[in-house]
């Protein structure tokens, strides 16, 4: 199945293509992070179709064909 994915900020080093990404059926958000080679702690915020997915729900949240996924790195400051 194909999904649209946008990696923001420093996460763009893991994939800079704007082309749809082919992923296996039944892929979870957690599995997608792993497929992209992104360390879990670097995927600060993940949204699927504009809905933020809490870290605790990433393993149970499945991605569907045509979904749009956005990932942001954590923001640090102070």
Cα–Cα distances (Å) from 39 to 6, 14, 34, 44, 64, in that order, read: 16, 10, 7, 10, 22
Residue pLDDT, tens place only, 1-22? 999 999 998 999 999 888 999 9
Instruction: Kindly state whether residue 27 falls inside one of the protein's structural domains.
Output: yes
Instruction: Kindly state whether residue 78 falls inside one of the protein's structural domains.
Output: no
Instruction: Kindly state whether residue 38 falls inside one of the protein's structural domains.
Output: yes
Task: With a cut of 80, say whether residue 75 has pLDDT above it.
Answer: no
Average pLDDT over residues 28-42: 95
Instruction: Kindly state whether residue 61 falls inside one of the protein's structural domains.
Output: yes
Average pLDDT over residues 24-33: 97
Structurally, how many domains does the chain consist of? 1
Residue 52 banded pLDDT, cuts 50, 70, 90:
very high
Instruction: Kindly state whether residue 77 falls inside one of the protein's structural domains.
Output: no
Q: What is the CATH number of the domain that holds 68?
A: 3.10.20.30
Residues 6+ apart with CB under 8 A from 40: 30, 33, 34
Half-sphere exposure of 76 (CA within 13 A, CB side): 4
């Amino acid at each position: 199945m194909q999904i649209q994915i946008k990696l923001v900020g420093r996460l763009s080093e893991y994939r800079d293509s704007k082309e749809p990404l082919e992923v296996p059926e039944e892929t979870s958000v957690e599995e997608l992070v792993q497929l992209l080679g992104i360390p879990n702690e670097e995927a600060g915020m993940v949204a699927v179709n504009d809905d933020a997915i809490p870290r605790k729900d990433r393993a149970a949240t499945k991605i569907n064909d045509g979904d749009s996924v956005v990932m942001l790195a954590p923001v640090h400051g102070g």
